[in-house]
Amino acid sequence: MSRESKHHADETLLVYLPCFLDYRLAIDQARKIRELDRNKPSEIKLDIKIMISCNGVELTSANKAELSQITDHVCIFPFGISGDINITQGFVHAIRVQADYLWILSSNDQVSDEFIQTIYEGLIQNREVNILVGCNSDKFGVHRIDSVFNPTSKDIPFGLISSVVYRTKKMAENFDSAVQLNWTGWGQLAAIEAACIAYGEINASLVSEQKLYKRSIRTLENSQDEKNRIKNGYAHSFFGMPILINILYASNPSKRKKYLNAWIFSNWYLVQYFLDTNFILWKSHVASNQVWLRKIAFAAIREASILPRFLFHIFRFVNLNSLQDYRLAQKLRRRIKD
């Protein structure tokens, strides 16, 4: 059935659940979505399809049968393909199955009992809206967004996968940016920013995050273990951001410099922290070793102004992990902002 002739049928929402060792959470999530779907109001004409994509987990025949029973689509990768690749596969599958809407939902986040009503009222009924974003904000409603890097957008969680639901008809042409740039750790953000660049601006419907999903809190009891988890797990996202800005704004030097400067002024005190990464985690995935990625990030920083470049490079060699140094960093941040 062509997309043009689908106005006589229910529109389709693809809920894509990428998972790894947390695949049991994805299964629980799928069961709850099925239950909520069965009990949704009759006036909501929405066909909800569920897809679980298991990344690098050995599943038994019973596991596979269980997945097939509660989902419409299943992808199973017998070895790890990286979380970023698994996440951004959702954009490709949304195009493949011709879903009208796409929600990439983390298996660790808990779907809200109100998610169907929230998506229906905030996105489906507002035909001019490109994306729906669950957030903690006092600016609910439809807003014109010209860039996710604009200071007015800084409190909107565009980069969190569970926070965004896409109208594929208005966004799919830029889904390729998510796949091409997944290695930066910001594939989902790339798709949104690419649409902003392509169209000049997009419409975002901001709704209460709690009415869409409950964000999981993942912290380890031991503070040092937690620091290492963040450092080793998110270093590629830290160094990926200046790369993302540099690539998306390669043909617009003034905005490239503006957004690079803003990112550095907000993050310079974390440079040395994220440089201290344990690469043993990626020993079996050579391309995921972040040595090459940070070298590209250093090259991207050259497009920033002199002062932020100086800040970034000088704090490659200054350790701000002690309490005294942390206080100094906070004072310096406030002075620079002032």
Q: What angle do CA 253, 254, 256 make, to 5 degrees?
A: 60
Angle at 100 between CA 189 and CA 47, to 5 degrees: 125
Tell me, yes or no, whether 208 and 263 share the same domain.
Answer: no
Residue pointed to by tokens 């030097």: 253
Q: Residues 20, 115: one domain?
A: yes
H-helix segments, 14-97: 23-38, 61-70, 83-96
Q: 194: which residues sit within 8 A by CB, 6+ positions away?
A: 174, 177, 248
Most confident of the following: 29-38, 55-64, 231-240: 29-38
Residue 276 and residue 152 in one domain: no
Query: In what helix (H) or strand (E) does residue 179 lie, and over which residues does it extend?
Result: helix 175-180
**Residue 198 sits in a domain of what CATH number?**
3.90.550.10
Burial of 274 (0-12, 13-18, 19+ CB in 10 A): buried
* 189 lies in the same domain as 232: no
Asked whether residue 100 falls in the same domain as residue 207, the answer is: yes
Separation CA 108–CA 317 (nearest Å): 36
Lowest-pLDDT range of 2-11, 40-49, 52-61, 184-193: 2-11
Domain count across the chain: 2
Tell me: do 236 and 194 sit in the same domain.
no
Based on the fold, state whether residues 35 and 123 are members of the same structural domain: yes
Using one digit for the tens of pLDDT, what is the confidence trace for 269-309?
A: 889 888 887 666 555 566 656 678 889 999 999 999 999 99
pTM over cut 0.75: yes
- Token look-up 């440079």 returns 271
End-of-domain residue from the set 214, 249, 270: 214
Could you tell me if 113 and 175 are in contact, meaning their C-beta atoms sit under 8 angstroms apart?
no
Domain boundary residue, one of 175, 197, 214:
214
Same domain for 282 and 240, yes or no, is yes
DSSP annotation string for 105-172: --TTSEE-TTHHHHHIIIIIS-TT--EEEEES-S--EEEEES-TTSGGGTTS-TT-GGGEEEEHHHHG
Structural domain span for residue 56: 3-214
Please write the tens of the pLDDT for every residue from 98-127.
999 999 999 999 999 999 999 999 999 999
Mean pLDDT across the chain? 88
Residues 238 and 331 in one domain: yes
What pLDDT was estimated at residue 321?
61
Burial class (CB in 10 A: 0-12, 13-18, 19+), 173: middle
CA distance linking residue 9 with residue 45, whole number of Å: 8
My answer on whether 209 and 230 are in the same domain is: no
Q: Are residues 228 and 177 located together in one domain of the fold?
A: no
* Domain end (from 195, 214, 233): 214
Structure confidence at residue 5 (pLDDT):
40
Judgement on whether residues 83 and 231 belong to the same structural domain of the protein: no
